[in-house]
Amino acid sequence: MTLTASAPDAPSPAPATSALSQAWLFTRRHPTLVTGGAIISLMALAALAAPLFAGDPSTMNPAVRLRPPSAQAWLGTDHLGRDVFARVIYGARVSLMVGLLVALVAIGVGTVVGLVAGYFRMADAIVTRLMDGIMAIPAILLAIAMVALMGASVWILILAIVLPEIPRVVRLVRSVVLSVRDAPYVEAARAGGTRLRVILSRHILPSTVAPLIVQATYICAAAIIVESALSFLGAGVSPETPTWGSMIAQSRSHLARAPWTVFAPGFALALVVLSVNLLGDGLRDYLDPRTTRRA
Amino acid sequence: MTEPVLSVRGLTTSFRADAFSPWSTVVRDLSFDIGAGETLAIVGESGSGKSVTSLSVMRLLAERTSRIEGSAKLEGSELLALPEAKMRKVRGSAISMIFQEPMTSLNPMMTIGSQVAEVMRCHLGLSAAEAKAEAIRLFEKVRIPNAKDRYDTHPHKLSGGQRQRVMIAMALAARPKLLIADEPTTALDVTIQGQILDLIKDLQVETGMAVLFITHDMGVVAEVSDRTLVMLRGDKVEEGSTADIFARGKHPYTRALLSAVPRLGSMAGRLNPATFGLIDMTTGEATPERALPAAADAPPVLEVKNLCTRFEVRGGLFARVTGAVHAVEDVSFDLRPGETLSLVGESGCGKSTTGRSILRLTHPRAGDIRVDGAAMHALDGKALREARRAIQMVFQDPFASLNPRVSVGTAIAEPFIEQGLGTQAEAREKAGQLLERVGLSAKVMNRLPHEFSGGQRQRICIARALMLDPKIIVADESVSALDVSIKAQVCNLLMDLQESLGLSYLFISHDMAVVERVSHRVAVMYMGEIVEIGPRPAIFERPQHAYTQKLIAAVPVPDPARRVLRRKQDIEEIKSPFRPKDFQPPKREWREVGAGHFVQT
C-alpha cells in the first residue's frame, strides 16, 4: 500500500560490452590515471627485472668512454665508460624504493598522529604546534644534516626525507577527522554506546583513505625529487650505487661533449615524477567524483 | 486572450554523468503558460524535476552534461535558441530568480547594497548614485528596517529572513516580467515564512509580474498560487486552478499528496494522537486514520529538572570568555511511558540542544536528568554507555546519519554487539526482525545506505535506535527532511511502534501541523526556555502565551478557500540567546491555567 522509493528513474544500464572495450572506456574517462599508472608500472617492472635485460651498471671500460648512443650501449656511455642505460634502469630502483617507502612511512605515522590530534581536543594544540615546528625546518638542510651526522645509508635517507613530510599527512588526516567527528552517524554510534576503538576504526578512519591515497602519490613524487637532489649534492646513498642525482652530478662537466649522460637520468627523473603526479591527480578525480572538472 | 509571459511547450531535459554515459530524462514533455500577474505553482516531491524545470527555462544547467529540448517562449521570443550572450541579458532583467538558501546566494564579501546596486547598473544602466538611491528604495519596499543604514552591511550580519528579503530586492531590481521562486521559504522559520510570502504577493500586485513558484509544501501552494501544476518523476500529473486541485484533484498522486499534508486544526476536539489517513499513489485506495491510546498513568520514564546548557563564546586577544549562548535555560519536564512530548520552537530556540543534553551528547552545565531512574547527569564512561540503552536518538538528516561505507545490517547490529548484549548471529537475527518491523525486508542487510531513499534510510535509523530495546526515543526533527507522503508514513510507523512497544517519544520539531498529530503533550520553547507546556489540545486550542499564539497563527493552511485570512504581521526577527559573561538569568514563574497546562508569566 505504501510507496517507499521516490528516487528518479535510474539511467538505463549501459549495453553489455567486452572487457577490452570497458577498459578503453575507463581510459577515456580517466586518461591521467591510466597514463600515470601505466608509466609507473612499466618503470617499476623494468627496475625489478633490470638484471634480465640491462647490462652491469658498474663495469668500467675506459676504452669506450663518452660514446654516443649505439646498438651496444642504447643511451651511450659515461666518462668512465659505464653503460648509461643500465645505470638509468638501476637508478630507478633507488628512486622508486625511496619514493614508495617514504610515502608508506609518512602515511603510517601521520595517520596515527593526525587521528589523535583530530579526535582528542587535548592533544590537538600540542600536536599542531609540533607539526608547525617541523614544517619550519627546510627539508633539504635537515636531510643533509642527518646524513652528515648519522652516515649515508638508504634508511637514514628515508628517515631524513620522511620527517618533513609527516606534517602534511597529519594536517590532512586531522582536517578529515574534524569534519566527520561530529557527523550524525558518529553521534549515533556514540549514543548507541559504541566503543571508541570501533568509532575510530569503523566510522572515522575509512573517510581518510581516499585523500590519503592521493596524498601518498604526491609525497612519493616529492621524495623522489629530494632523494635526487641529495644524491646530486653528494649527500645521498653510497656513491657506488647508481642514482639519477649522482649520475647528473658526475656527468655535469661533460654536458657539452656528451649530453646524453645528463639528459638520460634527467629525463627519467622528470618522467617518473610527472607520471606519479598524473597518477595522483587521476586518483583524486576517480576517488572523489565531486572534484571532477565540469563543463 | 493576451499572450502569456512565459509559454513552455514540450520541455524535455536530460542529464548524463559525463560525455561517455547515456542520457537519462529528468523532465518529460512539460507544457505550461503563465500570464502577467499570475502565480503558477509547480509542486512535487524530491526528484520530481520541479527545480530542473526552472533551471532549464533559465538555461542555468551545465551544457556538457545536460540537454534541453522543446520550447520556452518569453513574450513570444524563444529562450532556448538565444545565444548565451543575449540569454545573460534576459537573466536578472526579464526573468529573475530567488533560491532556497539565503545563506549562500549572497556574496559574503560584498555589502548588500552594492550587490543590489550592481544589478541595476548592469541591467538598467543607472549611474552609481541613482543605483544607490534606487537600492535603498527597494530595501524599504521589501521592508528591511533602517534601509539607509543597512545599505553598507555585509550579509553575515543579517538573519536568514532579512537575507531572503535582500534576495527578493535583488531579484526585483531590474523590474522582471517573470519571477522564479525556487523553494524561497523552505529554509526559513514558519513566522518568517509567512512574512516573505506576504511580501512576494504584495509586490506582485504592485508590479504585475508573473511568478513561477516551486515548492514541495502544499500549505504554501494554497497560500500563494492561482494555478497549480503537480509533477511526479519528471511528468506533469495534473494542472488546474489551485482551488480545483485542492477540492477536486483527479489523479491518485495529487490526492495522495494532499491527504498526506498535515493540516493544523484537523485534530481539534480529540484527546490523543492519531495516525495519518493515507491514499495510495497508484491505486487511489485509502487507509483511514486511527486514534492512538492515551499514555499510561505510570511514573515518568524521563524526568528533567532545571536543565541548563550554555556554549561559551570567546573573543578578544587571549580568547577569554566574553559571554555565553544560553541554549537551554532552566528547562524542566517529564515524560511518561507510552507518551509523546513534543518540543516545538523556531531555529535557535534550544530544542535540539535539550535533546542532545539529555543523551549527554552535549555536556549540560546544570540540572537533573533521570532516565528510567538512572541519574544520567552524574554518569560517565561505561555507566553512561549502559544508561544510554534506555534512551536512543533518531536524527534529522537520513543521508548523514548512516555511515555511507557501512552496510545497513552492520549499522543496525552495531549498538547491540558493542553493548555486549549477544553474539554476532543474535544481533543479525534481531536486526533482520527490526528491518521487517519498520517496513523493509531482512534481505537488504548487506546493502549500503546509498541504495535506499530518504524515507527508507530514516526507517533504518529507527531500526538502529530500537536495537537496544530503549524505553525512550528522542526524535530530533526526524521527519522534517522527508517528502510529504514519506513524512506521513514515517510518522505512522513511529506511532505504530509506540502503540506496540510502549515507547515514549521526545519529539523535537518545528512543524506545528505534524506535532499536532503525533503528540500527547507539547512544550513550546523560545530563547532556550519553555514558555508554555501542556496537553496538546490545550496548547493548540487555547494557547496562552503570546509566542505560542504567533507560532500557531503563522502556519500556512493547505486550503485555498481560507486564503482571505491574510496575516498582516509586524516584521520581527528571532532573537539570539547570547548573554554577556555576568548575566544573571531572571527567575521565571509558571502559572497553571488548566490541568497540567503551565504558562510562563
Q: Is B485 on the interface with A (CB under 8 A)?
A: yes
Cα–Cα distance between B84 and A92 in angstroms, integer? Answer: 52
Average pLDDT of the residues in A121-146 = 90
* Residue among B478, B539, B545, B466 nearest B506 (CA): B478
Torsion of CA A253, A254, A255, A259, to 10 degrees: -160
Chain A interface, best mutation among B279, B356, B403, by max A CB count within 10 A:
B403
Residues of A with CB under 8 A from a CB of B: 1-12, 14, 25, 28-29, 183-185, 187-195, 198, 202-203, 206-207, 292, 294-295
Chain B partners within 8 Å of A293 (Cβ): none
**Does the structure show a pLDDT above 50 at A3?**
no
Q: Please tell me the predicted confidence (pLDDT) of residue A6.
A: 38
CB contact under 8 A, A191 and B361: yes
For residue B64, is it within any domain? Answer: no
- Residue-range domain boundaries for chain A: 37-55+74-291
Q: Please tell me the predicted confidence (pLDDT) of residue B563.
A: 61
Q: Please tell me the predicted confidence (pLDDT) of residue A10.
A: 40
Q: Is B83 on the interface with A (CB under 8 A)?
A: no
Interface of B with A in 291-310 (CB under 8 A): none
By CA distance, what is A6's nearest residue in B? B453
Cα–Cα distance between A55 and B441 in angstroms, integer? Answer: 65
Cα–Cα distance between B13 and B26 in angstroms, integer? Answer: 6
What is the domain range of residue B117?
106-175
* Shortest Cα–Cα distance, A177 to chain B (Å): 14
Average pLDDT of the residues in B507-536 = 90
Q: Is B84 on the interface with A (CB under 8 A)?
A: no
By CA distance, what is A290's nearest residue in B? B17
Cα–Cα distance between B40 and B324 in angstroms, integer? Answer: 46
In single-letter form, the type of residue at position B177 comes to K
Pick B63's closest partner by Cβ from A3, A191, A295: A295
Higher pLDDT, A16 or A11: A16
Model confidence at A9, in pLDDT bands (50, 70, 90)?
very low
- The interface predicted TM-score of the complex, written ipTM, equals 0.78
Model confidence at B567, in pLDDT bands (50, 70, 90)?
low
Cα–Cα distance between B139 and B131 in angstroms, integer? Answer: 12
Interface of B with A in 445-464 (CB under 8 A): 453-456, 461, 464
Chain B partners within 8 Å of A31 (Cβ): none
**Does the structure show a pLDDT above 70 at A292?**
no
Pick B20's closest partner by Cβ from A8, A9, A29: A29
Model confidence at B566, in pLDDT bands (50, 70, 90)?
low
By CA distance, what is B400's nearest residue in A? A184
**Does the structure show a pLDDT above 60 at B570?**
no
* Shortest Cα–Cα distance, B388 to chain A (Å): 7
Q: Please tell me the predicted confidence (pLDDT) of residue B426.
A: 94
* Longest distance between any two alpha carbons in chain A, whole Å: 91
Burial class of residue A70, CB neighbours in 10 A (0-12, 13-18, 19+): exposed
CB contact under 8 A, A1 and B278: yes
Q: Please tell me the predicted confidence (pLDDT) of residue A13.
A: 45
Chain A partners within 8 Å of B388 (Cβ): 191-193
Pick A195's closest partner by Cβ from B388, B406, B418: B418
**Does the structure show a pLDDT above 90 at A218?**
yes
Q: Please tell me the predicted confidence (pLDDT) of residue A36.
A: 93
**Does the structure show a pLDDT above 90 at A18?**
no
Q: Please tell me the predicted confidence (pLDDT) of residue B139.
A: 86
Average pLDDT of the residues in B506-521 = 90
CB contact under 8 A, B361 and A5: no
Overall domain count for chain B: 2
For residue B126, is it within any domain? Answer: yes
By CA distance, what is B383's nearest residue in A? A193
For residue B202, is it within any domain? Answer: no
Chain B partners within 8 Å of A176 (Cβ): none
Q: Please tell me the predicted confidence (pLDDT) of residue A289.
A: 59
pLDDT above 70 covers what percent of chain B?
Answer: 96
Q: Is B469 on the interface with A (CB under 8 A)?
A: no
* Shortest Cα–Cα distance, B299 to chain A (Å): 25
| pLDDT tens digits along B347-363 | 778 888 999 999 998 88
Chain B partners within 8 Å of A2 (Cβ): 278, 280, 439, 489
Pick B65's closest partner by Cβ from A188, A193, A295: A295
Model confidence at A295, in pLDDT bands (50, 70, 90)?
very low
| pLDDT tens digits along B383-428 | 888 888 999 999 888 888 999 889 999 999 999 999 999 999 999 9
Chain A partners within 8 Å of B26 (Cβ): 8
Cα–Cα distance between B538 and A31 in angstroms, integer? Answer: 67
Pick A1's closest partner by Cβ from B280, B400, B467: B280
B527, B520 contact by CB (below 8 A) = no
Please enumerate in sequence order all residues whose Cβ is within 8 A of that of A127, keeping only pairs 6 or more positions apart, or say none.
Answer: A113, A116, A117, A170, A174
Distance of CA B371 to the CA centre of its chain: 30
Find the CATH number of the domain harbouring B553. 3.40.50.300
| pLDDT tens digits along B473-492 | 999 988 888 888 788 889 99
CB contact under 8 A, B395 and A188: yes
By CA distance, what is B466's nearest residue in A? A192
* Shortest Cα–Cα distance, B420 to chain A (Å): 10
Model confidence at A189, in pLDDT bands (50, 70, 90)?
very high
| pLDDT tens digits along B272-330 | 888 888 777 777 777 788 888 888 788 899 999 999 998 888 776 677 777 888 888 88
CB contact under 8 A, A8 and B47: yes
Three-state SS letters, B155-177: HHHCCHHHHHHHHHHHHHCCCCC
Q: Please tell me the predicted confidence (pLDDT) of residue A147.
A: 86
Please enumerate in sequence order all residues whose Cβ is within 8 A of that of B223, keeping only pairs 6 or more positions apart, or say none.
Answer: B197, B556, B557, B563
Model confidence at B579, in pLDDT bands (50, 70, 90)?
confident
| CA contacts within 13 A on the Cβ side of B522 | 31
Helix (H) or strand (E) segment spanning residue B452: none
CB contact under 8 A, B45 and A183: no
Chain A partners within 8 Å of B418 (Cβ): 192-195, 198
CB contact under 8 A, B456 and A4: yes
Please enumerate in sequence order all residues whose Cβ is within 8 A of that of B351, keeping only pairs 6 or more positions apart, or say none.
Answer: B343, B344, B345, B508, B510, B525
By CA distance, what is B396's nearest residue in A? A184
* Shortest Cα–Cα distance, B150 to chain A (Å): 34
* Shortest Cα–Cα distance, B64 to chain A (Å): 5
Interface of B with A in 388-417 (CB under 8 A): 388-389, 392-393, 395-397, 400-403, 405-406, 411, 414-415
Q: How many CB pairs under 8 A join A and B?
A: 127
**Does the structure show a pLDDT above 80 at A149?**
yes
Average pLDDT of the residues in B58-86 = 86
CA distances from B187 to A63, A276, B209, B487 (A): 83, 45, 24, 17
Q: Which of A269-283, B146-160, B386-400, B557-571 has the lowest mean pLDDT?
A: B557-571
Cα–Cα distance between B519 and B536 in angstroms, integer? Answer: 6
Three-state SS letters, B62-128: CCCCEEEEEEEEECCEECCCCCHHHHHHHECCCEEEECCCCCCCCCCCCCHHHHHHHHHHHHHCCCH
Helix (H) or strand (E) segment spanning residue B574: none
Pick B403's closest partner by Cβ from A4, A203, A294: A203
Q: Please tell me the predicted confidence (pLDDT) of residue B280.
A: 75
How high does pLDDT run on average in chain B?
85
Average pLDDT of the residues in A19-25 = 86
CB contact under 8 A, A193 and B418: yes
Most confident of B96-105, B386-395, B559-568: B386-395
CB contact under 8 A, B418 and A198: yes
Q: Which of A172-186, B487-501, B585-599 has the lowest mean pLDDT?
A: B585-599
Instruction: At B344, list the grid cell.
Output: 516545538
Cα–Cα distance between B467 and B83 in angstroms, integer? Answer: 59
Chain A partners within 8 Å of B402 (Cβ): 185, 188
For residue B211, is it within any domain? Answer: no
Please list the residues that pair with B526 across neighbouring strands. B529
Q: Among B146, B175, B204, which residue terminates a domain?
A: B175
Model confidence at B521, in pLDDT bands (50, 70, 90)?
very high
Q: Please tell me the predicted confidence (pLDDT) of residue B268.
A: 76
Please enumerate in sequence order all residues whose Cβ is within 8 A of that of B146, keeping only pairs 6 or more positions apart, or say none.
Answer: none
Pick B414's closest partner by Cβ from A3, A4, A194: A194
CATH topology (fold) of A37-55+74-291 = MetI-like fold (1.10.3720)
DSSP conformation class of B43: E
